[in-house]
Structure 1
Amino acid sequence: MRYRPDIDGLRALAIIPVLFFHAGLPGFSGGYVGVDIFFVISGFLIGGIILEQKQNRSFSYLHFYERRARRLLPTLFTVIACTLIAGYFFLMPENYEELFESAAYTTLFSSNFFFLNNINYFAQNAEFMPLLHTWSLAVEEQFYIVWPLILALYLKIRNKWSDLSGLLFLGLILSASFVCSVWYLSDHAQAVFYMLPFRLWELGLGTLVLIILRSHPNMTKFHPAAFSILGLALCLGSVFLLEKQSAFPGLNALPVCLGAGLLLFFGSAAKNKISQGFSWSVLVFIGKISYALYLWHWVIFAYFRIYKNSLNLSSLDGYSLIGLTFLLSVLTWFLVENPLRFKTSKKQILAFSLGVGSLLLAVTTWGVMTDGASFRMKMDISYLKSKKVMWYWPSNIKEVKGLSKNVCFFGADWETAQKRLILWGDSHAEHYAPLIEAAIDPEKTSVLLWHKAPAFIDDDKVRRWHDRGTRFSRHCGIRRRLMENWLENQPHKIDGIILAAAWSNYAQSLFSKDHKKRSRAKGQKLMALGLKSLLKKLAPKYPVIILSDLPRPGRILLACAYQKAIPLLRAHDDRMCRPLDRAWVDKRQGPTTRILKKVASKFPRVQVVDAVDRMCSDGNCPIFIEGRLLYQDSNHIRRNLSKREKQILVKKLGLEEALAFKPGQMRLADRQAKDRQEAK
């Protein structure tokens, strides 16, 4: 294909918003769409190479993948190696082990599968994963495997019937991919974001643009500047108008992809001022090093956030890190990418690819087998070894007819227990469960844990926008209806219900009809509405205890415990490991706790356990208990608490007192209310 400098300029348009978005700089809320521009460019260029060689009968899969290896592997392997070395000094064992796993998948161009199962790209903790951005390389590599086969079919159909038949064939495939991207986005946002079948239309669109361009080159003479301006506007509009929480890709990816397609199509027109602008030497050079920029930027940003132990970057941090990214990218381009791409033989590039690839796989295997080089620890803090260890808590799982196949129970046997309680909520109900277990009489009381969904969300009047979709909301509605129906038909007497949730985490994401009109104030009203409607059904039949949020750090505190065991590279900040400031916790969690109390006050059989008020002194809230870290992450306490730790927390929270009512017994306030009602 003839070299077009404007395409390198278009690469600059793709990478700059990505850099600014990931640096957290204001105004680039949709900067992630730069990846979609790259997809369209790749489809345009790769499609052109394949079609040209197939038409000339010179296409060879071996030669095709050898060229891909020259282009991609030297820089990628360099970045992976440097990332793994840096991890030794920055990462705790669990995170380091996770990095080794992701590096292995990246080496095999399948990291999109790894991240699909492990992290939401837009989640906050994603910004601590140094190789997360390699998901897009995996998508492209998988495209390189599938697309030559599809284009071979396209050429057969076109040669046998007509050009139109070939275009209809490609159009059908791309349309199916696009429709699936839109259709499944709400329920399977993660898969739609990470996986090739839902992204194929973006890459294939580039090839479709190329085919039309070659078939009808005269079309580029029809107002090329105007259509190029339209394409640029569509791209920049997506960059500036989309938000982190926008449903994506789906329909929201269409404008930026069409914009990139227009710029590619009309950029070939002679005397097009827009394409001449993209051919500016500065933009062309940025485009040439865009691959290195993309690979380095996220690694640098992630390690800096890990060093600071904070997600937030100042503007000075952002611009400084972008500057460092450019410096490393230029060095990589001159010292690694260009020499290995243009100055090596086929045998040398093959030996490099297999040799370095095998070495990386061996190193990653070693990293996993050593639990993230856990030998670096100078003292035993095995209770913090991993999230799995910190979340471990034994319970009984069995099938309950009309409810679920996997229901968690603890305490006495449900069938023979003298007292039966239901603990209902999300993951915060799960981290309360060991404390509830320590507070009950295990010989007499049985507790059913109904988790994975806060009870106040019904997916009707109260819904939630989460992970750029409503799948979680629908899940909550299903779980709520299941429990309500089961309670109606439950043969055993239920003696009380305990509600727990990450209350302060929901307000901003709640909506009723239009998810775009969310606000914290509206969300708080909806939370009150949802809780009130639930208690109207529950409170007349059962005593209800509402457990408020435990004090939430809002930051990961593991480094505070690990720092003594492993001297990691971290910014020194004494405040990070101090107790939480009570005023700060009250500001974040107080509004929702007041909502819980206000709603509960309307029901005599409902009481609220204010965890912050009970856990915290006037000035602070502890993060250590008995010298051991209390928190697993930014908002959950550990479940692998010792017996002594549980006893202390149960006493602080007053859980034994709250759960001490006898089967069928109402609290004093209940009896007084009943007496007043009878007196009337």
Structure 2
Amino acid sequence: MHTRVGSADSHLIGYRADVDGLRAIAVISVIAFHLSRSWLPGGYLGVDIFFVLSGYLITLILWREALKGQFSILRFYERRIRRIMPALLFLLFFTTMAAMALLLPADLIGYGKSMLATLGFVANIYFWRDTDYFSRAAEAKPLLHVWSLGVEEQFYIVFPLLIAVLARFWPRATFPAIVLLTLLSLVANYLALRFGGAAPAFFLLPTRAWELGAGAMVALLPLSLTPRGTNAGFLAIIGTIAVLVGIITPLPKYGAVPVALPVVVGAMFLIAAGQIQLSPVNRLLGARPLAFVGLISYSLYLWHWPIIVFAQYYLVRDLNIGEMMIAVVVMTICAVASWRFVERPFRSKTMTAPTLYRSAAAGVCVSAALASVLIWSNGLPSRMSGEAAAINAAVGTNYRCPVSNYLRLGQSRACVLNLPSRNPVDAKVVLLGNSHAQMYAPVWEAIFAEMNMPGLLVPANGCLPTVSVNISRECTDIAAGNLREIGKLPNVKTVILGLTWEHSDLIDPNGNALDNRNDATLAQGIDDLINRLQGIGKKVVLVGPVAYPGWDLPSELSRDLAFGHSLEKPTSLPAEEFQRQDGAIIQHFEARNDIGFARPDTVLCDPSRCNYVIDGRSMFADASHIAQAELFRFRSIFTEALAAQH
């Protein structure tokens, strides 16, 4: 085993250059994915490798200290502060300066909120509620990547104490206990994905802890089970294949099996293969160039994403190859400088703990004050043109159910809409569908309140609410489960359906692909759902299609205006084009006299075009969801459609 000084805390457990090499693979994968998703479709799974490495290294340190009776929670957190805070605060200073120069008001407010969440190590929770990691809108959030720090630091609130207690009272039970907890977290991840909770499964600790636990399992692996010799070499090869397969051709995202499973298992195998004696693969990972990238990987991870985001934010497009190379050079220079002049000095024991605490506290206070100013000043709107600011105000404002409004509904969940009792049995009306139903929830809730109708939102985000056709078998199961639960609600008289209408790929309940030309298959699926609901005594209101831009209009258009770029993308759709796309299916459901049919297109479309911008305001919060401030425009047509069923 190598002994030269390298990564943080290596003096406590001995330095392994191959571990730094694996760190390098992880950070390079993430950077490649963020530069171009087509290069490494699973490159974002490098973060999962980081989790495994973190769980391994921290557990190894804690276990050895605990067995020697040297464990100190204060010393542990001192090491974490030295490791995390200086480089993070250094980054935040520069990103805040760049944000104030470049970000439009709504984006600057969001930056300020994400900065406060970052300082409190709850960025993962903030971004869970704020955005989809894989969405286009996420690419305008300079601190999105620090969600992973939130997961780690939340894990390390409880985990050190657990290890200390187990080491003192039940040392032989420690390994089985960690295995059990890891498996429970993996099951939680699976169940979250299985029942439509892809976002919490991605961002939250309970569904991510299994990856840190996987590393902890390797650290606690009994000596008798630790691979060596030929077995270690074979295990390293399998681990390498698993990691490469994971980041090059990942499993279907949000499928039944957690997409990170191959890279997590692969990382475990690679770490275990070098525990006693380095295998040939581990020696290759420990090559000096890779090991050096691993040494600077924390700073490189911190810097890479803001540099990419700010460049693309200003250009209002993806980077070309030349610009990508410049970005890589800049992020590498920043990372080396951060590692050499920030990370290493603060890790040095020559800086006393009190000085460290005072410096970190001062940095946090100043950063929090700056973030608060950005929020309370409404994003410093005077910096930008009023036209750009008015468009930008819609960014990311589509409605999302607050966590406090969620309640359990069978194996799924529902959201309170004018339901004071918070008991689903008391609901008289249900808004059912995906995010294109949820986006209308505030205006429906106002209507329910006016009509004294307790209601529920039953979401199937990312899916269709239809049972006979859907976009995946998992979605079919979710839709069928929601339908069963609605059937169990005796007081529900009306179900309002909202959904996305543009689908080229649909399947039947057996997973067979269906032809959806001219939307005929989707129409049959909606008809089937309506008939099923009517069969259990429910009246139905259907919210029809609306023309949407298909590109992140409020963000991109406002930046084009602010930075003086030419406006190339359309801000409306010709009315005849909308009729060609959706006219037939609209006509089909207008002909059904047994349902209420609300047509949002009549609000946004005039005889010549369907407008994405009205009176200088964006109608959309992103590429397809209506901005919450514009929902008032739809109230009359929704009221009429609901009244038609009562």
Please give the TM-score of this superposition, normalised by the length of structure 1.
0.75
Select the residue among 504, 509, 512 that pairs with 2:509. Answer: 512
Q: How many residues align?
A: 613
Give the secondary-structure state (helix, strand or coil) at the position aligned to 1:68.
helix
Select the residue among 476, 500, 503 that pairs with 2:501. Answer: 503
Amino acid at match of 2:351: S
Cα distance in structure 1, aligned partners of 2:259 and 2:550 = 31
1:531 corresponding residue in structure 2: 526
Cα distance in structure 2, aligned partners of 1:295 and 1:11 = 14
Q: How far is 1:145 from its partner?
A: 2.5
Q: How far is 1:397 from its partner?
A: 4.1
Please give the TM-score of this superposition, normalised by the length of structure 2.
0.78
Cα distance in structure 2, aligned partners of 1:41 and 1:240 = 20
2:571 corresponding residue in structure 1: 579
Matches for 1:411-490 after TM superposition, within 5 Å: 428=436, 457-458=464-465, 460-465=467-472, 473=479, 476-477=482-483, 481=487
Task: Judge which range, 112-121 or 7-16, deviates more.
Answer: 112-121
Select the residue among 212, 215, 233 that pairs with 1:206. Answer: 215
2:180 corresponding residue in structure 1: 172
Cα distance in structure 1, aligned partners of 2:50 and 2:422 = 51
Q: How far is 1:402 from its partner?
A: 10
Cα distance in structure 1, aligned partners of 2:271 and 2:538 = 66
Residues 394, 618 of structure 2: 8 Å contact kept: no
In our comparison, the structure showing a higher alpha carbon Rg is 1
The answer on 1:226 being equivalent to 2:247 is no
Cα distance in structure 2, aligned partners of 1:471 and 1:387 = 33
1:129 corresponding residue in structure 2: 141
**Which 5+ residue runs of structure 2 have no aligned equivalent?**
1-12, 401-416
Cα distance in structure 1, aligned partners of 2:645 and 2:478 = 34
Cα distance in structure 2, aligned partners of 1:401 and 1:156 = 45
Q: How far is 1:69 from its partner?
A: 1.6
Q: How far is 1:75 from its partner?
A: 1.2
**Which 5+ residue runs of structure 1 have no aligned equivalent?**
409-421, 665-680
Structure 2 CA distance for partners of 1:607 and 1:219, relative to 1, 3 Å: closer
The answer on 1:298 being equivalent to 2:305 is yes
Deviations along 1:452-481, one digit per CA (max 9) or x if unpaired, are: 659995563234559x97786367535764
Amino acid at match of 2:72: S
The answer on 1:16 being equivalent to 2:13 is no
Task: Judge which range, 169-178 or 533-542, deviates more.
Answer: 533-542
Residues 102, 131 of structure 1: 8 Å contact kept: yes
Residues 314, 559 of structure 2: 8 Å contact kept: no
2:327 corresponding residue in structure 1: 321
Task: Judge which range, 377-386 or 627-636, deviates more.
Answer: 377-386
Cα distance in structure 1, aligned partners of 2:226 and 2:619 = 69
Cα distance in structure 1, aligned partners of 2:364 and 2:117 = 11
Select the residue among 234, 237, 243 that pairs with 2:245. Answer: 237
Give the secondary-structure state (helix, strand or coil) at the position aligned to 1:177.
helix
2:406 corresponding residue in structure 1: none
Structure 2 CA distance for partners of 1:475 and 1:378, relative to 1, 3 Å: farther
2:108 corresponding residue in structure 1: 96
The answer on 1:31 being equivalent to 2:43 is yes
Deviations along 1:627-649, one digit per CA (max 9) or x if unpaired, are: 44443432244464599x889xx
Select the residue among 149, 154, 158 that pairs with 2:166. Answer: 154
Amino acid at match of 1:199: R
The answer on 1:82 being equivalent to 2:78 is no
1:284 corresponding residue in structure 2: 291
Select the residue among 553, 556, 568 that pairs with 2:552. Answer: 556
Deviations along 1:249-278, one digit per CA (max 9) or x if unpaired, are: x64433322211111111245462211111
Amino acid at match of 2:113: E
Deviations along 1:314-338, one digit per CA (max 9) or x if unpaired, are: 5555554334322322232223222
1:669 corresponding residue in structure 2: none
Matches for 1:139-150 after TM superposition, within 5 Å: 139-150=151-162
Residues 20, 294 of structure 2: 8 Å contact kept: yes
Residues 548, 623 of structure 2: 8 Å contact kept: yes
The answer on 1:51 being equivalent to 2:63 is yes
Give the secondary-structure state (helix, strand or coil) at the position aligned to 2:94.
helix
Amino acid at match of 2:94: C
Cα distance in structure 2, aligned partners of 1:244 and 1:29 = 11
Amino acid at match of 1:256: V
Select the residue among 612, 615, 620 that pairs with 1:631. Answer: 620
Select the residue among 167, 186, 199 that pairs with 1:190. Answer: 199
Select the residue among 266, 287, 296 that pairs with 2:273. Answer: 266
Select the residue among 375, 379, 382 that pairs with 1:368. Answer: 375
The answer on 1:331 being equivalent to 2:337 is yes
Identical-residue share of aligned pairs (%): 26
